[in-house]
Amino acid sequence: MRLHNMQIHSALSQCASDEMTMERIIREAEKAGLETIGISDHIDYLDPSREQKLLENFSIRDKLCPPINVQIGCEASQIDQCTIAVDIETAQQLDFVLVASNHYHLSHVENPIDRSPSAYAQHHLQMIEGAIDWGYTTIIPHPFLLTKVRNVNHSAVLASYDRHQLKRVLSKAAKNQVAFELNPRHLKNSPNFFKELINLGQQVGLKFALGTDAHKPHEIKYDQIDLQTLNQIGVRQEHLLAI
């Protein structure tokens, strides 16, 4: 399988290590045999100066003349169904845009009033649909898992997604060329849900993008366990976004 990693945070993301310079990221990715990588620094609030800073990644990349395909994007938080934390003009300049529809741990992101598993499942599906309707989303990162939400039963959330609604949203994503991320480190805890997701995705022509949400140099590569996980879930080249 030709590998890519579309969720890599550079040192421009506060949560990433200082070692995550563009140069180091490219070196690690090349060493790991990745053909394409995506630099996806966080944008959590509408902030023109932040967007400007991220756009500077283009000239940093170009100066390095990387031997692999390095795409410049962002991971924008979705605040509510209709609000994404990045300006449309900036989104159009970027190579790709990850829209995080489940950054529920951020205090300015709308949470469901009733914080039950089924309310979260319904809310997250609505958020994803909003991200698709927005029109500039390339990939939904870490979909369906609400790992950072405390006091909620995560397997109950996965079980609560209305399968009819889920299939409708996946089909809409496919029509609008929005892909869903598969992070092997997340998949391995809920293999059955993700097997089902890939199956449903295949039925409607949905594409998936691989990502590890790397914040440190050693997190950029896929190790043996990651590759085994992808294999066990049934991920094949034909399911992946052609980047």
The residues that touch Zn ion, with contacts defined as CB under 5 A, are 75, 100, 213
Pairwise CA distance, residues 235 & 205, whole Å: 14
State which residue, 147 or 203, has the beta carbon closest to Zn ion: 147
State which residue, 111 or 232, has the beta carbon closest to Zn ion: 111
Number of Cβ within 10 Å of residue 203's Cβ equals 12
State which residue, 63 or 134, has the beta carbon closest to Zn ion: 134
Closest approach of Cβ 103 to Zn ion, in Å? 6
Closest approach of Cβ 77 to Zn ion, in Å? 8
Closest approach of Cβ 163 to Zn ion, in Å? 25
Closest approach of Cβ 100 to Zn ion, in Å? 4
- Chain-centre distance of CA 220, in angstroms? 14
Pairwise CA distance, residues 9 & 75, whole Å: 9
Contacts of 14 (CB under 8 A, 6+ apart): 42
Closest approach of Cβ 205 to Zn ion, in Å? 26
State which residue, 95 or 213, has the beta carbon closest to Zn ion: 213
